[in-house]
């Protein structure tokens, strides 16, 4: 008897649909095979959502704030996936946390690993007490099940962990096991490492696990599909591409169609436009009706004082949906944990763990994530969001272990995981007859577009064909000529720079006073946080003080890790400043606010730091930028700072500098640069004083990239 094993349920169903004989063979998924193949005596597999409850119950024993966790129930549940992803990955790789080489990490990494290891050990101990298992390391093979099959053929399309491969090798001691896989330039690293061989790309291999020999090689026939590439300035309009192509293909009689969403949240747009109900969502739909009723219970819960909090909630849910109550009955084993919680928290937990309901709309076309396409070929494929933000997309939780550590402990690196995603997309595309790809033109397109031999700049303008806002209603952009006067008497260096770089931006910001986008990008957030920490440091500059300031901040885990990883780069700067202070340098001011008149205007600003050493003052402006370039910065800011401080400290020699703290480099303004900036400042202010200033746009497009007004200027 043969058993065929596939990577997904969809691939399994596809195998049965296309099987020619009337007698169907036994088939299953890899997940089911690995579960059926082992027996963990006297223990029960723990459901995923119950893992969170047990972990929260033990977490108060540890200093979780040190690793960026909030121990309050709901905030902890939101972040717990980080820990479980980490636990799952190291267990699957058969790695002990204690064995992780931390020599190439930031200072607190060892402390973080120590805390996480204690949490992990306590969690495993708690599972033992409850006769539960999660990722078992102790098990025996299900010989009766495995001996039933003389051959097991396993189709692999993705990563296979050390633990799973060990189980498969153990199975080969009982029966004959073959692994079948397709090798591409994006996934060859998996199989070369797994089998210790050098495989050629664009071949399908069959390897016998019993002998570790290649028993069959088939050249993969690439179909060279017709690929159409569409660009959209508005993400929502990609949904119209999906609807239009599906309607076209269905009318022509095609049915083997798939829509791939790199980000599941895109389905809200598809649901908006799919009036014919042609789409069927493989990921299911949110049970909004039940969720709203459970939310209603927060203020209208019927409570029996003789029952536990959890039992009261289950009784109330029973009146809403008996099936959901039945799914949650397992929680009663842990009702003592729920007694520690408020009713609102328990209801929030229930809402977060209600399964999506199956999409029963009956649509002919499946909407899936990329993992659901493994092992299946489709005639027609539509992929949206083909941008760098989504393809490839790696879970942020993977970033805790950097690529150097992953390489040392033989885990897939971030680059490996990204390449595996590329493999899935390339495989899907190469096996199709026709592919339509949509991407947003105002953000970076995925590098896979280039790998496919396509040119994003030659993409079809999708909005000329489909647009939520019809083109004939759109007004053609007309260039404005704007004149005006600047009547205020207050200036800052930022305003002056805006006037020099782009008078139009100055006009919108300072004369029209148009609102700006308040969202701060990740780099700016980290830069601001470093500035704040340096402001709050004691004069005793040292790494420990910096660490302590990080710990005081209420920030999420990944931002905390980003800050702590910066300590590597900041250490030379911190040590040098520590030595300067020890040798007599005095910090007079931090975040020093000033107001000073220059050429008839009141200049206001804030100086990061002012130091004194003997009869000399040092004006310091911190720069927290990767690859800081002084040529792009100029010295105008330092000139204004020096003028303001010279008026206050008249008997000192004053030196003004930018301090590139990531590279520990100082850029001091010399006398020649000071004179040049004096001329620039004077001529700029004279221009600003004139009547009927023409506020023209800049010709430098790079300035517009992060500008809040680029859409007003048609510069996006």
Lowest-pLDDT range, 129-133, 435-439, 487-491, 526-530?
526-530
Residues 259 and 173 in one domain: no
Contacts of 604 (CB under 8 A, 6+ apart): 490, 491, 492, 593, 594, 595
Phi, psi (degrees; rounded to nearest 5) at 353: -115, 15
Residues 73 and 120 in one domain: yes
Please give the tally of structural domains in the chain: 5
Q: In angstroms, rounded to a whole number, what is the distance separating the alpha carbons of residues 640 and 632?
A: 17
Q: What is the mean pLDDT of residues 387-403?
A: 72
Residues 292 and 242 in one domain: no
DSSP-based three-state secondary structure for 445: strand
Final residue of a domain: which of 98, 133, 168?
A: 133
The Cβ of residue 477 has, within 10 Å, a number of other Cβ atoms equal to 10
pLDDT, residue 119, reads 84
Segment of 74-78, 104-108, 265-269, 317-321 carrying the highest mean pLDDT: 265-269
Residues 253 and 322 in one domain: no
> Has residue 164 been placed in a domain?
yes
Residues 672 and 564 in one domain: yes
* pLDDT value at 517 more than 70: no
Q: What is the mean pLDDT of residues 267-289?
A: 83
> Has residue 517 been placed in a domain?
no
> Has residue 479 been placed in a domain?
no
How far does Cα 466 stand from its chain's mean position? 30
Q: In angstroms, rounded to a whole number, what is the distance separating the alpha carbons of residues 50 and 365?
A: 34
> Has residue 516 been placed in a domain?
no
Residues 176 and 269 in one domain: no
Note the helical H segments in 38-174: 48-59, 73-92, 109-129, 143-147, 162-171
Q: HSE (CB half, 13 Å, CA atoms) of 631?
A: 1
pLDDT, residue 362, reads 66
> Has residue 494 been placed in a domain?
no
Q: In angstroms, rounded to a whole number, what is the distance separating the alpha carbons of residues 544 and 485?
A: 52
DSSP state of 624: -
Q: In angstroms, rounded to a whole number, what is the distance separating the alpha carbons of residues 68 and 57?
A: 18
381, 436 contact by CB (below 8 A):
yes
Q: Reply yes or no: is the peptide bond before residue 354 cis, omega within 30 of 0.
A: no
Q: What is the mean pLDDT of residues 244-269?
A: 92
pLDDT, residue 684, reads 93
pLDDT, residue 519, reads 52
Residues 531 and 593 in one domain: yes
pLDDT in tens, 223-252: 789 999 999 988 889 999 999 999 999 999
Residues 688 and 615 in one domain: yes
The first and second tokens of residue 673, run together, are 């640069």
Q: In angstroms, rounded to a whole number, what is the distance separating the alpha carbons of residues 539 and 445?
A: 46
Range of the structural domain that residue 249 is part of: 226-285+359-471
* pLDDT value at 711 more than 90: no
Q: In angstroms, rounded to a whole number, what is the distance separating the alpha carbons of residues 107 and 565?
A: 8
Phi, psi (degrees; rounded to nearest 5) at 17: -60, -40
CATH of the domain at 177: 3.40.50
536, 44 contact by CB (below 8 A):
no
pLDDT grade, residue 449 (50/70/90)? very high
Residues 584 and 686 in one domain: yes
Residues 128 and 188 in one domain: no
Final residue of a domain: which of 219, 244, 267?
A: 219
pLDDT, residue 147, reads 92
pLDDT in tens, 536-550: 887 778 888 888 888
Percent of the chain with pLDDT over 70: 90
Q: HSE (CB half, 13 Å, CA atoms) of 712?
A: 17
313, 295 contact by CB (below 8 A):
no
Q: In angstroms, rounded to a whole number, what is the distance separating the alpha carbons of residues 357 and 368?
A: 15
Final residue of a domain: which of 352, 372, 398?
A: 352
pLDDT, residue 359, reads 62
Q: What is the mean pLDDT of residues 142-169?
A: 91
pLDDT, residue 276, reads 87
Buried b or exposed e, range 317-326, using 16+ CB within 10 angstroms: beebbeebbe
pLDDT, residue 398, reads 57
Lowest-pLDDT range, 86-95, 306-315, 651-660?
86-95
Give the residue among 255, 444, 281 at the shortest CA–CA distance from 358. Answer: 281
> Has residue 705 been placed in a domain?
no
CATH of the domain at 250: 3.40.50.300
CATH of the domain at 540: 3.90.320.10
> Has residue 381 been placed in a domain?
yes
pLDDT, residue 358, reads 62
> Has residue 700 been placed in a domain?
no
pLDDT in tens, 291-324: 888 888 878 888 888 888 888 888 888 888 888 8
pLDDT grade, residue 152 (50/70/90)? very high
405, 105 contact by CB (below 8 A):
yes
Phi, psi (degrees; rounded to nearest 5) at 230: -125, 135
* pLDDT value at 101 more than 70: no
Q: In angstroms, rounded to a whole number, what is the distance separating the alpha carbons of residues 187 and 184?
A: 5
Phi, psi (degrees; rounded to nearest 5) at 365: -110, 125
Lowest-pLDDT range, 312-321, 497-506, 648-657?
312-321
Give the residue among 476, 435, 470 at the shortest CA–CA distance from 452. Answer: 435
Residues 321 and 409 in one domain: no
Q: What is the mean pLDDT of residues 430-450?
A: 91
Residues 106 and 150 in one domain: no
Q: What is the mean pLDDT of residues 82-109?
A: 72
540, 547 contact by CB (below 8 A):
no
Q: What is the CA radius of gyration of the chain?
A: 31
The Cβ of residue 372 has, within 10 Å, a number of other Cβ atoms equal to 21
pLDDT, residue 425, reads 93
The Cβ of residue 576 has, within 10 Å, a number of other Cβ atoms equal to 15
Q: Where are the beta strands (DSSP E) in 132-202?
A: 132-133, 140-141, 151-156, 176-183
- What mean pLDDT is reported for the chain? 85
């Amino acid at each position: 008897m043969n058993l065929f094993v596939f990577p997904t349920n969809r691939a399994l169903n596809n195998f049965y649909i296309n099987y020619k004989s009337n007698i169907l063979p036994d088939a299953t998924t890899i997940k089911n095979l690995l579960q059926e193949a082992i027996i963990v005596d006297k223990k029960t597999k723990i459901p995923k959502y119950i893992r969170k409850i047990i972990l929260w119950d033990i977490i108060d024993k540890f200093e979780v704030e040190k690793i960026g966790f909030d121990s309050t129930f709901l905030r902890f549940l939101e972040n717990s996936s980080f820990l479980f992803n980490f636990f799952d990955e190291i267990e699957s790789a058969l790695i002990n946390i204690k064995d992780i080489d931390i020599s190439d990490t930031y200072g607190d990494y060892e402390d973080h690993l120590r805390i996480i290891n204690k949490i992990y050990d306590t969690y495993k101990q708690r599972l033992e007490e409850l006769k539960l298992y999660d990722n078992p390391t102790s098990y025996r093979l299900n010989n009766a099940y495995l001996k039933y099959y003389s051959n097991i053929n396993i189709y692999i399309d993705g990563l296979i962990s050390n633990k799973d491969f060990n189980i498969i090798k153990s199975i080969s001691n009982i029966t004959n096991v073959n692994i079948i896989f397709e090798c591409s330039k994006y996934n060859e690293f998996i199989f070369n490492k797994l089998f210790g061989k050098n495989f050629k790309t664009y071949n399908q291999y069959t390897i016998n696990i019993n002998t570790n020999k290649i028993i069959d090689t088939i050249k993969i026939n690439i179909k060279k599909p017709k690929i159409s590439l569409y660009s959209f300035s508005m993400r929502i309009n990609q949904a119209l591409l999906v609807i239009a192509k599906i309607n076209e293909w269905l009318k022509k009689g095609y049915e083997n169609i798939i829509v791939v969403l790199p980000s599941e949240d895109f389905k809200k747009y598809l649901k908006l436009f799919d009036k014919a109900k042609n789409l069927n969502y493989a990921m299911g739909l949110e049970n909004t009706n039940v969720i709203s009723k459970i939310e209603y219970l927060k203020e209208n819960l019927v409570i029996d004082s003789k029952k536990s909090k959890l039992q009261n909630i289950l009784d109330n849910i029973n009146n809403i949906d008996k099936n959901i109550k039945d799914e949650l009955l397992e929680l009663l084993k842990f009702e003592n944990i729920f007694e520690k919680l408020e009713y609102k928290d328990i209801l929030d937990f229930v809402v977060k763990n209600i399964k999506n309901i199956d999409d029963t709309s009956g649509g002919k076309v499946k909407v899936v994530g990329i993992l659901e396409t493994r092992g299946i070929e489709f005639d027609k494929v539509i992929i949206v969001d083909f941008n760098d933000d989504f393809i490839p997309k790696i879970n942020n939780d993977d970033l805790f272990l950097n690529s150097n550590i992953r390489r040392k402990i033989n885990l897939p690196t971030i680059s490996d995981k990204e390449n595996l995603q590329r493999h899935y997309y390339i495989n899907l595309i190469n096996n199709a007859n026709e592919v339509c790809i949509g991407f947003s033109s105002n953000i970076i397109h995925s590098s896979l577009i280039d790998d496919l031999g396509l040119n994003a700049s030659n993409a079809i303008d999708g909005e000329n064909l489909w647009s939520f806002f019809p083109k004939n209603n759109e007004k053609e952009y007309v260039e404005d000529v704007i004149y005006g006067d600047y009547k205020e008497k207050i200036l800052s260096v930022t305003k002056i720079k805006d006037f020099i770089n782009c008078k139009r931006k100055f006009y919108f910001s300072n004369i029209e006073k148009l609102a700006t986008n308040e969202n701060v990008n990740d780099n700016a957030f980290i830069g601001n946080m470093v500035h704040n920490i340096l402001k709050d440091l004691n004069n005793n500059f040292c790494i420990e003080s910096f660490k302590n300031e990080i710990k005081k901040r209420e920030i999420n885990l990944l931002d905390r890790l980003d800050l702590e990883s910066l300590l590597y780069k900041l250490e030379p700067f911190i040590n040098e400043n520590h030595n300067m202070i020890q040798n007599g340098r005095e910090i007079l001011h931090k975040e020093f606010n000033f107001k000073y008149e220059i050429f008839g205007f009141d200049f206001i600003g804030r100086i990061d730091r002012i130091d004194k050493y003997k009869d000399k003052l040092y004006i310091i402006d911190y720069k927290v930028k990767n690859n800081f370039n002084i040529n792009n910065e100029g010295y105008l800011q330092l000139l204004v700072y020096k003028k303001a401080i010279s008026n206050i400290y008249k008997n000192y020699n004053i030196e003004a500098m930018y301090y590139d703290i990531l590279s520990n480099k100082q850029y001091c303004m010399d006398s020649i640069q000071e004179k040049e900036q004096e001329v620039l400042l004077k001529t700029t202010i004279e221009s600003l004083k004139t009547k009927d200033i023409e506020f023209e746009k800049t010709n430098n497009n790079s300035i517009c990239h992060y500008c809040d007004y680029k859409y007003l200027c048609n510069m996006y």
